[in-house]
Amino acid sequence: MIQLEKIARSFTVGDQQVAALRGIDLRIAAGDYVSIMGPSGSGKSTLLNLIGLLDRPSSGTYRLDGGDVTALDDVQQARVRSEKIGFVFQSFHLVPRLTAAMNIELPMMLAGVPPEERKERVAKLVENYGLKDRADHRPDQLSGGQRQRVAIARATSMNPAVLLADEPTGNLDQATGKEVMALLENLVEQKVTLILVTHDPLLGGRAARQINMVDGQIVSETGRSG
Amino acid sequence: MKAPDSRLRGNDATMLLPDLVKLTSSSFLSYRMRSFLTGLGIAIGITAVILLTSIGEGLHQFMLAEFSQFGTNIIGIQPGKTQTQGGNVGIFGSVRPLTLEDADILRRLPYVEHVIPSLMGNAEVKANGRTRRTMVLGEGRDFGNAFTMKARSGGFWTDEDNEQARAQAVIGAKIQQELFAGMNPLGQYLRVGGQRYRVVGVMESKGQILGMDMDDAVFIPAARAMELFNRPGLMEIHVSYRADVDANTVIRILTERLKAQHGREDFTIISQEKALEVLSSVLNILTFAVGALGGISLLVGAVGILTIMTMAVTERTAEIGLLRALGAQQRQVLVLFLGEAMLLSALGGLAGLALGVGIAQGLHLLFPALPVHTPWLFAVAAELTAVSIGLAAGVTPALRAARLDPVEALHAE
């Protein structure tokens, strides 16, 4: 479902061209659990942003569900992000003014989902992620683990096919990090494609398929799955 | 791959209006003080405009009502040519008085309906052993036809307006109460400045017009009043003309005829329309001043909104990145920030409206003589102006927000 062919991405820094990605070829099947590892500056986050349609490659083709998505305009890309992709970030990225429930509701609001539908869905997510008594709290009244649970609930609110997680445990203690990983891995069982970016080999090692990157290239791959 | 959940798809992948309001007001509410101060600039501008317009409009309506109480389509002619604000040249004796003969000449001109020679003064009025010092108006017989003042019983004398006018009087409602309480005054006699007059009519109560109590008055033929006050001429000739004729046409005809009669223009013509024109030109100046004042306030308000929205975009860069990641289109980000700017200015505008109308009404309560009136169309226009200002001020910051690169925005602190 995700097909990357000869993907390159370079940035202009000052008067220099810096290549962040050089010729990435990658296929990820639906329902895969993939971790992308590598030192900082290896291009793993850039790759994740490209897969999430937040960034466009300098060259190469990206096919999602068979269709070339690099050619889509802003409106179409936004629609794909809205319907197919969920993001989980290291720093949670919750909107501080909105309650936990409203943060979860946000993607559905942006997509224009009818209120009754949203209410039902939020109630279910709040229940599933153990946030029932925290739903009306603002992010600054929540613990780190709770915040990331809100973020995961939000990322899954539109039932995306792909979940992109960028160091989702980076700001959490060990125990909480484990909980969060368990929640994410539980989604894989529900046929969600999970792509996890981390510099931590222990964490990345949990994935069925591991991709190692150095200097914008994939250097090794283990546990290729079908 | 899983197909997107069709139940979760919106109609057109655009935000619903209540959600837009919810999201924009959330940021408005989380910076209460800041929002308040930003809206204040707009509020003050709108307050100034509404307040002064209310007073100006109130004055205008007040004057209009006062004028039209006398009746419409009436032109006044006074002796002496008023060139400027300077005094009457009458003291040098070079002014020919306006006479009953002049009035007769004017009566024969085209478009003229009624001509009322008039003068006024004060005199002692006696009847039934009671005395009252009151206003005495010397008028023509058509007084009741030209002005919107009617007799309640009886009517005006019907003799020609000439030197031989008989001693007949029409009395105001108050005079009837004071001198003829409990009896029918028609046919009775009263003494005006020592001379005996027969009462032929009683006016209906009219109240005050431009500060004169029209009920506390006695109307007698102009010729007799000239005699009574020992004046060589009239104080004014009122000419009523046909409603379908332009005032300027009538003024031109009157001027020509009277000039021919007098040999030169030694009189002044005053029309209601001209008086109202002067009034509205004064009000126009006021309106312009208010507009300038309010405009400056609104400009300051707009700069405030521009500043605050620019800050908001900078502060919430990461949030903008997040919105994009969650599926927001550039257009949606634009609308969110524009909405916030418009909300600020709309609330500021509403506060200004409330404040302006409130102060105007408060002033009216304090000084009941000061008329105030807020045209609602103007209030709507003011509010629309406020919202447009918000829109205009919000465009630049909102465009900047919409054009942010999502990846860079997400990593902004």
For chain A, the straight-line distance linking the first and the last C-alpha, in angstroms and rounded, comes to: 12
Distance from CA of B340 to the nearest CA of A (A): 14
Q: What is the pLDDT of residues A42-84, one digit of tens each?
A: 999 999 999 999 999 999 999 999 899 988 998 999 999 999 9
Chain B CA closest to residue A65:
B1
Smallest CA-to-CA distance from A89 within A124, A45, A47 is with A45
Specify whether the CB–CB gap between A164 and A87 falls below 8 A. Answer: yes
Q: What is the pLDDT of residues B110-146, one digit of tens each?
A: 999 999 999 999 999 999 889 999 999 999 988 888 8
Q: What is the pLDDT of residue B8?
A: 52
pLDDT band at residue B10, thresholds of 50, 70 and 90? very low
Domain borders along chain A are 2-223
Q: Residue B269 class from Cβ within 10 Å (0-12 exposed, 13-18 middle, 19+ buried)?
A: buried
Question: Do B326 and A110 make contact, defined as CB atoms within 8 angstroms?
Answer: yes
Q: What is the pLDDT of residues A83-131, one digit of tens each?
A: 999 999 999 999 999 999 999 999 999 999 999 999 999 999 999 999 9
Least reliable range by pLDDT among A27-31, B112-116, B176-180, B207-211: B207-211
Contact with chain B for residue A81, Cβ under 8 A: yes
Specify whether the CB–CB gap between B70 and B378 falls below 8 A. Answer: no
Q: Which tokens is A181 given?
A: 């990983």
Whole-number percent of chain A with pLDDT over 70: 99
User: Does residue B1 carry a pLDDT above 50?
Assistant: no
Question: Do B325 and A74 make contact, defined as CB atoms within 8 angstroms?
Answer: no
Contact with chain A for residue B93, Cβ under 8 A: no
pTM attached to this predicted model? 0.73
**CATH superfamily label, A2-223:** P-loop containing nucleotide triphosphate hydrolases (3.40.50.300)
Contact with chain A for residue B10, Cβ under 8 A: yes
Q: Name the more confident of B18 and A141.
A: A141
Q: Which of B2, B13, B325 shows the shortest C-beta gap to A87?
A: B325
Q: What is the pLDDT of residue B82?
A: 65
The predicted complex's ipTM stands at 0.94
Distance (Å, rounded) from C-alpha A180 to C-alpha A202? Answer: 15
Q: What is the pLDDT of residues B255-301, one digit of tens each?
A: 999 999 888 888 888 887 777 777 778 878 877 887 788 888 889 89
CB neighbour list of residue B329: distance below 8 Å, 6 or more residues apart: A74, A75, A78, A79, B13
User: Does residue A7 carry a pLDDT above 80?
Assistant: yes
